[in-house]
Amino acid sequence: MNYVRFFIYQFIIFSALFVINIPFGKYISKPFTSVDLIAICIKLLIIVIVYRVLKKIYRRFENIRLRNKILISIPIVILSILFIGLLEQLFV
């Protein structure tokens, strides 16, 4: 059960990270302007908040070995990329 919970949390987190990168990607471009700076600051703020929340959530997964976490995370990254790609195709 602990592995299933870890799988679900990882899927949500990786999907959220990809979703955060989608809207900010169009604001951060080659000619660096103040809009780019504001977008980077907002993105960093969101990432810091998510990291602090994750730190509290992941305490319950300390009993899972690092090797198992890595082996579970690799397919989750692939699944979340496919999921976000599917959502982009549906809503764009």
Q: What pLDDT is stored for residue 25 in this prediction?
A: 67
Interval 50-59: pLDDT, tens: 888 888 888 8
For residue 52, the one-letter residue type is R
Cβ partners under 8 Å of residue 9, min gap 6 = 57, 58, 61
Assigned token pair, 74: 């690799």
Interval 10-56: pLDDT, tens: 998 888 888 877 766 666 667 778 877 888 888 889 888 888 888 88
Please indicate, yes or no, whether the overall pTM of this predicted structure exceeds 0.75: no
Q: Quick one: the chain helix, strand, coil %, rounded to 5?
A: 85, 0, 15
